[in-house]
Structure 1
């Protein structure tokens, strides 16, 4: 799936899109750092997900409905987690169904923010709840607040850098005509769920900050992976994680050398501008830089404010875990896709049936 920042053809429109994304992400970082929120990566990551998909802002009713759905979806996942925490098998099966439905809805063009929030909730809250139910409740509150801030930031970013006049609105960004049909979406959603489920099952039983990082990385990669682009594009997503992780390490160490708020904003804006510019102009390679930006936000945010129960783990270790998670996701998707192709080839519709 290509990102919609690349769909505009006018240089001015691309420049506005890149500025909108970079300024929006940096403004989110500035706000959450100034307020001292936990899990500072959440709001900037959600903002980036919205702004890379939209060329026009949501209307006021759409935005308010999205904010309402953000709270309801996060609350629902938290309720499921807390009620089934003593029944791991039932909890895991329920999470698998929820992830499958969210991947299917995402592939069919559902609001990007909503499906991502459901997926982050489904992979994060159970892991945190195993270690501490209070940590899960706090993270759910942070996730809901981040979703609200992401919607508000989207409006502000579009007010500062409007979309092209020829854009038809939010539905155009989702690319309804490019969305896979129900059978294809169901198949891809099932593959994505099968890739994610073994890691989620293991980490539900062994809670740690690392678990949340790995699971969010896999979710982001699966959302960007396009099987039609082939193995080369899939490997490119691993490269994207490496680029984003290296940039996060560089920015984090620069911030440690000069721990002033203006300097932090300056280097954050410079980094996000570099990513946003590539997303806007890279064409079919744009998903690589979308992944790079997501990884940059995740690792930088975790370095600034670790998750509940976590510590300031070394960036080298974090980056290694990110790359391992990416390699696992790409490898698992490739194996499942190869198995599916061979099954079709050898089945009743293949040559052997003739």
Structure 2
């Protein structure tokens, strides 16, 4: 009997986490679009990141503190707006340096959510502020509202699907050598920077590209050079395929409840892969990036449809940009790793 109960007990926490991630992401997506929140795909992405990275419920004080941290870290982008307006070259260099420091902070054991907020604030808000300061304030408001909704959904998801009693916290990853952290942080910053430059041209249109680049930058921090193409490009293409299938299923009966139910179904499929309930060769980062790509593409398609735009043409252009950004990320991973090996050999 004891030998037969072990697989069940070992799978129970992962099953709870998969249900929690899928239901929380679907609920935050439905609520954000139902309330017509600004930049509605932000809330489900933040909820997805929180549910995937934290397996313990968030106390009220911690939730309020996280919201305050978001306001402070995203406000850092406001400080860069004058520099980008009047001294663009110096401003871009400063953004690149800050991105390098933000990714390095996360890699050295800092809070990954704080590092993510820093990267989003440095890119999305500063890019929006170069065109219109009011647009930058709107992005900050959208981020704060999205995080408040994500925190509420996170707490509700943990209440509905609590962590089984006696489950130990996940072990922390061993710290990386200082030189390795510097190279990986530089690589991630260079992955995000071109998307930021593209967003300076038209921030309102290229906000999804920034979010995609931020996701790729984070994924590149944990991706080996050998698997970079499969991890980065494969997850992007899979996310696009899932978005096409989702849109086709949603078009059969367009309703907010169906939007929620379809996202719940797709979330469960991806969560089973992410938590190895249905084992695959791909890493959790692969499935997390696929889910993020699905939410971004789907959210933009819904907004295009509401605005009366050509959904398929806009999707094709956006998907093409995603592929270009991903190919650039793969190339950057290989080029920097090659230079690092050459430097180590010479040393």
Is the structural similarity TM-score above 0.5? yes
Normalised TM-score (structure 2):
0.87
Aligned equivalents of 2:60, 2:79: Cα separation in 1 = 29
Structure 1 residue 228, shift from structure 2 partner: 6.3
Aligned equivalents of 2:23, 2:151: Cα separation in 1 = 14
Conserved in 1, the CA contact under 8 Å of 2:225 and 2:334?
no
Bigger mean CA deviation after superposition, 254-263 or 67-76? 254-263
Other-structure match for 1:285: 283
Aligned equivalents of 2:101, 2:289: Cα separation in 1 = 22
Other-structure match for 1:3: none
Conserved in 1, the CA contact under 8 Å of 2:46 and 2:150?
yes
2:132 is the counterpart of 1:132: yes
Conserved in 2, the CA contact under 8 Å of 1:55 and 1:164?
no
Structure 1 residue 342, shift from structure 2 partner: 0.9
Give runs of aligned pairs for residues 141-290 of structure 1, distance below 5 A: 141-169=141-169, 172=170, 175-204=171-200, 206-226=201-221, 229-281=224-276, 282=279, 285-290=283-288
Aligned equivalents of 1:9, 1:231: Cα separation in 2 = 35
Aligned equivalents of 2:229, 2:187: Cα separation in 1 = 15
Q: Secondary structure at the match of 1:109?
A: coil
Q: Secondary structure at the match of 1:231?
A: coil
* 1:179/1:224 CA distance change after superposition, 3 Å: farther
1:99-128 deviations in Å (ceiling 9; x for gaps): 112101221233332221221222222332
Normalised TM-score (structure 1):
0.85
Structure with the larger RCO, 1 or 2 (CA within 8 Å, 6+ apart) = 1
Aligned equivalents of 2:61, 2:188: Cα separation in 1 = 32
Structure 1 residue 28, shift from structure 2 partner: 0.3
2:296 is the counterpart of 1:298: yes
Give runs of aligned pairs for residues 11-90 of structure 1, distance below 5 A: 11-82=11-82, 84-90=84-90
Aligned equivalents of 1:303, 1:179: Cα separation in 2 = 40
Q: How many residues align?
A: 333
- What stretches of structure 1 of length at least 5 have no aligned partner? 1-7, 348-354
* 1:177/1:261 CA distance change after superposition, 3 Å: closer
Conserved in 2, the CA contact under 8 Å of 1:225 and 1:234?
no
Q: Secondary structure at the match of 1:94?
A: helix
Other-structure match for 2:341: 341
* 1:46/1:274 CA distance change after superposition, 3 Å: same
Conserved in 1, the CA contact under 8 Å of 2:28 and 2:43?
yes
Structure 1 residue 15, shift from structure 2 partner: 0.8
Report the aligned-residue RMSD: 2.5
Aligned equivalents of 2:137, 2:221: Cα separation in 1 = 34
* 1:59/1:181 CA distance change after superposition, 3 Å: farther
- What stretches of structure 2 of length at least 5 have no aligned partner? 1-7
Aligned equivalents of 1:32, 1:154: Cα separation in 2 = 14
